[in-house]
Amino acid sequence: MDAASNLITAGEFFVVIAGELVLLFVGITFLVGLLQAYIPEERIRSVLAGRRQGAGNVLSAGFGALTPFCSCSTIPILLGLLDIGVPFGVCMSFLLASPLLNPVILALLVALVGIVPTAIYAALTFTAAIVIGWLLGRLGYARYVKDVMVEGRPEPCGCNSSHGTRIRGAFSFAVRLFQQVFPYLILGAGIGAFIYGFIPGDLIVSLAGPDNPLAIPVAAVIGIPMYIRAETLIPVSAVLLEKGMGIGAVMALIIGGAGASIPEVTLLAAIFERRLVAAFVAVILGVAVLAGAAFQVLAAI
């Protein structure tokens, strides 16, 4: 194919993928806004306060999955949970689940790989968040949390607001978030279109195909600096998968990037000592590699 044909192919892909992602994102963010209107931060705090390890880990992982906060808001919530005495291991389950089980990521994954693989992904990451949070608590990693004070308390959430008010708030939330995310979504669609139109599939297969044993761990590591937002990484992953990248490597890329993004690790370094930050990153990479291997095995069956 000549350059003109490649450009046309890339342009067609960009229009289709960008259009699909815009429609999907608007719908999902509206549902997310409703979710946050009915499950506010202070309710999470009140439910988890006093919970012990075990049941508390399950609840906190569930809240992390249902409350799709970005790292800039997840970390303050984590501090608030620690401040009111929620066990460290329970807090870590929330921290692990929140980015990996973000409803936006799950919805985009359904569009990328289908319902069954997404359900497997959700089950694996949810279980990992519970088990790893519990283990970190049992191993005494709470001693590596810095003495950071939480100033102030959140304002009342207006939980008695009418359903109409909450729906309008959810719509406003969706519009604001879409305005913020739209450039990243277009960036991801643009990068994906370039790969789709100009990068040979044979090259991707040779570097990250299912027959390359190093593809999964390398993808997990590359995902960390590559991650900007899910809306950027998912369309790129879609193209890599279509071009021949193994599904195990794609999943490792997504988990590594979403779970241990550079902005999140930077924020965690302000409240965790280096040993705990290193343990957190190692855990995410381990989950990414194991999940990627599991997906690769399932794909081969």
How far apart are alpha carbons 19 and 22 in whole angstroms?
A: 5
Residue 229 has a pLDDT of 62
Q: List pLDDT tens digits, range 271-299.
A: 899 999 999 999 999 999 999 898 888 88
Among 25, 17, 56, residue whose Cα is nearest residue 137: 56
Are the C-beta atoms of 41 and 154 separated by less than 8 Å?
Answer: yes
Count of all residues that appear for the chain in the document: 301
Residue 93 has a pLDDT of 92
**Highest averaged pLDDT of the listed ranges 24-38, 77-91, 120-134:** 120-134
How far apart are alpha carbons 215 and 157 in whole angstroms?
A: 46
Instruction: Note the Cα 258 to chain centre separation in Å.
Output: 4
Are the C-beta atoms of 289 and 216 separated by less than 8 Å?
Answer: yes
- Locate 203 and state its tokens: 């090259």
Q: List pLDDT tens digits, range 188-228.
A: 667 656 766 666 656 666 666 677 778 888 888 887 766 65
Among 58, 68, 78, 64, residue whose Cα is nearest residue 130: 58
Confidence of residue 73 (pLDDT cuts 50, 70, 90): low
Residue 145 pairs in a beta bridge with 272
Q: DSSP secondary structure string, 214-238?
A: THHHHHHHHHHHH-S-HHHHHHHHH
- Give yes or no for residue 88 having a pLDDT over 80: yes
Among 111, 301, 296, 110, residue whose Cα is nearest residue 209: 296
Phi, psi (rounded to 5 degrees) for 145: -85, 130
Instruction: Note the Cα 76 to chain centre separation in Å.
Output: 17
Q: Does pTM surpass 0.85?
A: no
- Give yes or no for residue 155 having a pLDDT over 50: no
Q: List pLDDT tens digits, range 13-71.
A: 677 767 766 776 677 667 666 766 666 656 666 667 666 678 889 988 888 887 655 55
| Average pLDDT of the residues of the chain | 76
Residue 272 pairs in a beta bridge with 145
How far apart are alpha carbons 21 and 218 in whole angstroms?
A: 27
- DSSP for residue 272: B
- Give yes or no for residue 152 having a pLDDT over 50: no
- The angle, 0 to 180 degrees and rounded to 10, between the axes of the packed helices 247-259 and 115-138 is 50
